[in-house]
Each structure stands twice: as structure tokens, then as C-alpha cells.
Structure 1
Amino acid sequence: WNRIFKALIIDPDWEWEFIDGSYVKAHQHSAGAVGQEPQAIGKSRAGNTTKIHLAVDGCGLPVEFEITGGEVNDCSVAPQLIAKLPDAQAIVADKGYDSECIREQIIKKGARAVIPRKRNSLKGNADMDWGLYRYRHLVENAFARLKQYRAVATRYDKLKRNYESMVAMACGYLWLPV
């Protein structure tokens, strides 16, 4: 399903790229698969959760995603997600991605990092492009559309690969013409 999703991506807008992560509650019966295959189900305050790390293009359509356990921080998955993305003018993310190594990786790709700094930062947000950051809602809207699919909104699958297939299928539907 991931290859079909990639085949459906036609003429994406690579000028801006937006990344973010969202939690998905895992059904109580989705945990505990037999065998050694990865499940990507983590324990958090909310119980069993999975996290979708999503990258969307300038039009708000999904182009890449990673599935991890719910306890995984955004900063730890961002380098793999950013490495998969083609060159862009700017990569926009929220404060959860405020890290110097992420900023350096984005700059090495030839893009501008539009990430607000955390409150305790010594550098501040003087160089922040708040006009472009305002469009970050595009990735949030993509999550809202993805979570309209029941199999994505609540994880019922025991294995990570099966849930990745469901997310890839839902992302592919978003690329189909209306």
C-alpha cells in the first residue's frame, strides 16, 4: 500500500513542507501480538497509543509518514522524516521540533527552518517567519482528514506493518481527485 500511495503523489508543491505528529489511541485488543515483529504501540498517560509523524506538501497533502509508539518524541523521529523529503524553500514545524540538530539538518538541505523556539530559549524568535508559520494548520487539517477513517483514528491492528498499510491507504485517498 505504501508503493500505491507513493504512485498517487502527482505534482506535489515542494515549495513549503510541514511536519507534525499526532497520537492515535490503540484498541485494547491491538496489543500483544505473538512473535517478534514490531508493533509500534507505546504506553503513555492515555494508555496504549501510536504516533503518526506526518509530512505534508504546500497544499496540505501527505507525502511521507512514520509510525512509532506513542511515547516517542517528535525530535527523535524528525531526522528520518526530513531525510526522506526532497529539497524545499522552507520546512515548518511546531515547538516540539525545536532542536539545533534538526535546524542544522534543514539548513543543510538548503531550506529555511520555520520552527518557533521554546520559551526558555536564549536566542528568541526574532528571525521567525510568523506569516509562513500561520500556514502550519495545513498539517493539522491533514490529520483531521486522516482521522475521519475509523481504522486510522483508532488503531485495531496488532502489527506495525498492517497499521502502516491502513495509513498509507488513507493518505492515498487524500490524493485522489474529488
Structure 2
Amino acid sequence: MVVVVRRHELSDAEWAVLTRLLPESGTAGRPRVDDRVVLNGIVWKLRTGCAWRDVPERYGSWQTLYTRFRRWALDGTFSRMLRAVQAERDAAGDIEWLVSVDSTIVRAHQHAAGGKRGPSTGTKRPDHALGRSRGGLSTKIHLACDGRGRPLGFVLSGGNTNDSTRFEAVMADVQVPRLGPGRPRTRPDHLIADKGYSSRKIRCYLRQRGIAHTIPERIDQATGRLRRGSRGGRPPGFNGRIYRKRNVVERCFQKLKQWRGLATRYDKTRESYQATVTIASLLLWIRPFEDDL
């Protein structure tokens, strides 16, 4: 049977990869709605940024799409699929471990505003990665990508969060599993970041892990070092040729923000929005597979 692929739907090559990674359906109860139809509906919704109720009827009931999306978001299915694809690409030698780190701001739609006032759990309100600044409610995506502009790890925070405070969390999220025995790979060959990450704490963290890095020194730091004279120490090493490659992370954000459901946050909960970023990242990784199939 010939499958007609509409705009924003999964290609045959993409589906051939995803179908191997999806969880198996249980034998009890009613038959599960076709996974490809459901995933096509989820991807269509996230690419267009529409409401769940407005997803075309050809994808079935919107309640089914939302229920499957939330279930797989909460049980980590999307994250496991992303890790599995990264492991396969690493085993094939396709990951370039020249890692770039940066962040981007995403405005939160008024439909997402309820997440900031979410229900309390005990004495603590849940953190849904929403912060208020002069531009209103927003979320910040802190991301590390490989040398080809594909996400290796990311964390979410409120839009009013300083980049440097989430650096170690981003690095901790870089965990590419091995197909065989061994621990996941977590350490890049070289790391590139902008002046926002120029701090003594971050440079010390990278030196302790043995990670070579290229981070430009801020003007105030250079001025303070010169003012202290010999006690200021030597300036940090900087390679301008390597630093020019930092634009890959900007291109990565540009590709991710082609998803309207990601470029503007409509999700109230952290889990749902994190799943949105994960799905977009997953499809960025799958595209190179088309040459292998």
C-alpha cells in the first residue's frame, strides 16, 4: 500500500527509524491506534503550533493524540528514543565532538501562563520553567550541540535565568549511550561558548574534567586581571579559528524554531514542553539516516 506523505508528516525513512524505537503495545485491552498515524498527528500539531482540538480528523481523536503524547512524555519514551538514535550515530562515528553551548529565549503564550500557578505538591510549587522578565513570561532553552548542529543535551529554565548558572546542568545532560558495554560518553573533545560563560567557576569545572575549551574573556574580567598586575595571572587561552565554528549552535536553534509549537511555548507543564523540544531534536538526528536506508 502506498502511503501518501503530507506536509509536516513523517517520511518513510524517518518512520523506518522510529518504528524500531517505539515501546511495544500491550496485549490486553483494545487494539492501540496505529502509531504512525498518532505520531504524524503529534508532529503536525507541534510543527504548526495549533491547539490539540484543531488537529485534522485524519489523525483520529485529538484526545488520543494528547493522551499518547502525555504518556510518552511522562514515562520518558521520547527521551529514550533520542538517546537510542544518538547511540547509533556515535557507534557509526557520525558525531563530531566539537560541542557548542548556548541558550535561546522562547516567549510563552497566554495559554501557557497557567503553568506558573500550577498546583502545589506538599509545601513546594512545581517548577514549570517559566520566568517573568520585561518581555513577559518566557522559557529559556540551554543546549549543547555537536559540531554538525544536532542537540546532544538540553535543560529548561525560566527566561530570567542567567546562562552560566545552568552550564553544569547542560553538560550533565550530555550522555550518549554505548551500543555495547561501557558507560555513556559525556565528555566532548573541545567545547565552545560565548562570553556569557566566561567565569572562573566554569573554567575550573572544565579543567577538572580535562575538557579543552574556547571561551572569550569578558572586558571587565580582562581589565580586572590587568589591574592586579602579576597577581592577576595569565589570560585564558583563546583560539579564534575554533571560535568561528560556534555558529553551529545558532543554526541548531534556527532549525528547532521552525517548529511553531517550540518557537512559542503553548504548553503549561515543563514535561510537555520538554517533550516538544525532544521530538524536534529527535527528528534533527534522524535525517542523516535517510542516506543509510
Q: Provide TM-score, normalisation by structure 2.
A: 0.58
Structure 1 runs of 4+ aligned residues shifted over 3 Å read 123-126
Distance in 2 between the 1:54 and 1:141 partners?
A: 12
Structure 1 position 14, deviation (Å): 4.7
Instruction: Report the aligned-residue RMSD.
Output: 1.6
- Which residue of structure 1 lines up, in the alignment, with residue 239 of structure 2? 129
- Which is worse superposed, 119-128 or 13-22? 119-128
1:25-40, aligned counterparts within 5 Å?
25-33=107-115, 34-36=118-120, 37-40=126-129
Q: Is the 8 A contact 2:153 2:171 kept in 1?
A: no
1:1-178, aligned counterparts within 5 Å?
1-9=78-86, 10-11=89-90, 12-33=94-115, 34-36=118-120, 37-85=126-174, 86-122=186-222, 123=225, 127-177=237-287, 178=290
Q: Provide TM-score, normalisation by structure 1.
A: 0.93
Q: Which has the higher contact order (CA 8 A, sep 6+)?
A: 1
Distance in 1 between the 2:167 and 2:285 partners?
A: 23
Distance in 2 between the 1:127 and 1:93 partners?
A: 13
Distance in 2 between the 1:104 and 1:139 partners?
A: 23
Structure 1 position 126, deviation (Å): 6.4
Q: Is the 8 A contact 2:154 2:173 kept in 1?
A: no
Distance in 2 between the 1:146 and 1:84 partners?
A: 18
Larger radius of gyration: 2
Distance in 2 between the 1:61 and 1:160 partners?
A: 22
Segments of structure 1 that go 5 or more residues without pairing to the other structure are: none
Q: Is the 8 A contact 2:108 2:266 kept in 1?
A: yes
Bigger fraction of residues in strand: 1
Structure 1 position 84, deviation (Å): 3.4
- Which is worse superposed, 59-68 or 2-11? 2-11
Q: How many equivalent residue pairs?
A: 178
Where 2:155 maps in the other structure, the secondary structure is strand
Bigger fraction of residues in helix: 2
Task: Give % identity.
Answer: 36
Where 1:120 maps in the other structure, the secondary structure is helix
